[in-house]
Amino acid sequence: MLDINLIRKDFPILKRQVNGKPLVYFDNAATSQTPQQVIDVIVDYYSNYNANIHRGVHALSQEATDKYEAARHTIQNHFNAKKAQEIIFTSGTTHAINLVANGFSKLINQDDELIVSALEHHSNIVPWQMLCEKTGAKLKVIPMTLEGELDMEAYTALLSEKTKLVFVNHISNALGTINPIKTIINQAHNFGAAVLIDGAQACPHIKPDVQALDVDFYVTSAHKICGPTGVGMLYGKEEWLNKMEPYQGGGEMIDQVTFEKTTYAGLPHKFEAGTPNICGGIAFGAALDYMNAIGFDKIATYEKELLDYGTEKLLEIEGLKIYGTSNNKTSVISFNLEGIHPYDVGTLLDKMGIAVRTGHHCAQPIMSFYNIPGTIRASFAFYNTKAEIDALVSGVKKAKMMLS
């Protein structure tokens, strides 16, 4: 069991008040909060060894380089990548997806087909649409069910020898559905297609093993996993990364530069042009260390308790409907109150110190499927409590009474 009171002491922001009320933070699917242990790493970097990396012979540069590359190894070990050079630092999940989409621009032809799921965040839709516009390839969509799950029979029917890329999120940010990515990967590989998995919503709850999944690309953001904003990761199999052209040109990603020709550096530097978010990368590693010290199995068990408790209590409210009712989901509850706009509910909850997300959650196709403008999304983390869920339920009841 987790010692929730002890864990909550690690997060200074949980002590603050909003509108005179204790903060209840249920917007974890957008960004998680940061523990003091990671904050201390950030302060330590800027206080004691702030310097550019890989280019200096002086002590500060060498220390920063060592800690940055140690963080890469931490990330490699966490995701069980075969080699550290298969871990590319990015500014986040969106950057990582765009990097891969750009890298495939010369590997995709007019007659090729790409497959995306109906559950995707816009960041895992728009870059592929742009790639199709450049290449003439066709984009096909795995449909979803009313429960918020993927139609796997339809997916099987979409696959063919023309399929070159499949991209699916591990967990839906809008509904919390955990997708059967191992099956999706295996079936795509039967047709020689590569697979990219958007793990931004999964990594706070699940510890992915990229070798066991046999996934070609896996992407995530540190700020979902108790780390800082502005840094993320692309895992890519070495063979694919070697085939892809660099996403950006500049310093660090070169081998030799003349005015006649430039040759590129090897992995991972080939895809890491310019001065990176050094502090962010180091803090990313520290955040993974923090969560691994707690234990992902313990986190998953506790968050399942929160999900079950929150679902039961919210459904006791007349006129409340939950979207995303898969039996295989994580601690996200998307819901609406009949006849009331989600924005209005979210605004009133904020007055009570309760932070939820309202709107389409960068997943407009999902909202179109349900024919709704958006939802109220409460997303729980391992530092949340059942008492906070009680406060949410009470707040929703008050909002309903005021807005009906």
Give the residue numbers annotated as catalytic, written as ranges: 362
Cβ atoms < 10 Å from Cβ of 84: 16
C-alpha separations of 351 from 54, 65, 200, 225 in Å: 48, 45, 29, 27
